[in-house]
Amino acid sequence: MEAEYEPQASMNEAETRAEYTNQALKSAAGGVVEGSRIRREYPITLGRREGAGKRGKALTATMCWNTALPIEREKMNNSKAFQDYYPEELGHCYGCGRNNEQGHQLKSYWDGDESVASYTPHPYHIAIPGYVYGGLIASLIDCHGTGTAAAAAYRAEGRAMDTLPAHRFVTAALHVEYLRPTPLGVPLEIRGKVEEIKGRKVVVNATVTANGEVCARGQVVAVQMPEHMKPATP
């Protein structure tokens, strides 16, 4: 027999959420995927058009479990991201560094001949109401591109990313085309495809998709990190 829910009379709304509702959502989701979080004000629509360029109040879900895309859920559980192979001293990038708690902590994986990553923008990544700031899109393409370049260099040599010598790439050129406004509050899928590997240079083409539509595309020209940029090791 299931135990009955008996909230304590002294608990406020926030305490009730933390003690009962949040835990129930986590259980219903089948576990916690890295990068997931509970969203208490998740936008559903931008609001009804009222004319003269104005909209009514946006509709929001009061609480939902915001997780990664399905393809990323499986990959996060069963494989290691490209960026997780970076050494500790190179894990501080704002876009993809696992040691940067304020950053995106983007994680990229192989999906056949393409690379894939996902990221759900936060409410503060806003440009105009309902849409994502373009700089975020550029940073996702940038970091996914350099991560893909590193993985491609290892793959071209037929060896794993945890073998030496290490391949680490930085951006030599970044080109981004914004094809349509990118909606805020939904998971974005970033896909990369290697166009060229030549010497110390790797060229990666990438797309950013939201709700099944390509919102932006770009190209990253990545080059192997020069020796003078590598942190000194003890």
**Structural domain includes residue 43:** yes
Instruction: Give residues with Cβ within 8 angstroms of 210, minimum separation 6.
Output: 182, 183, 186, 187, 188, 189
Same domain membership, residue 107 and residue 58 = no
Q: What is the CATH number of the domain that holds 196?
A: 3.10.129.10
The predicted pLDDT at position 114 comes to 97
pLDDT at 148 over 80: yes
* Contact in structure between 190 and 208 (CB atoms under 8 Å): yes
The predicted pLDDT at position 19 comes to 64
Same domain membership, residue 217 and residue 130 = yes
Task: Tell me the average pLDDT across 178-198.
Answer: 97
CA distance 101 to 104: 8
Task: Tell me the average pLDDT across 152-176.
Answer: 94
Distance of CA 92 to the CA centre of its chain: 16
pLDDT digits (tens, 9 = 90+) for 172-184: 999 999 999 999 9
pLDDT digits (tens, 9 = 90+) for 75-119: 444 589 999 998 888 777 988 989 889 989 999 999 999 999 999
CA distance 201 to 179: 27
Q: Which range of residues forms the domain containing residue 60?
A: 34-67
Domain boundary, last residue among 67, 86, 115 = 67
Same domain membership, residue 146 and residue 55 = no
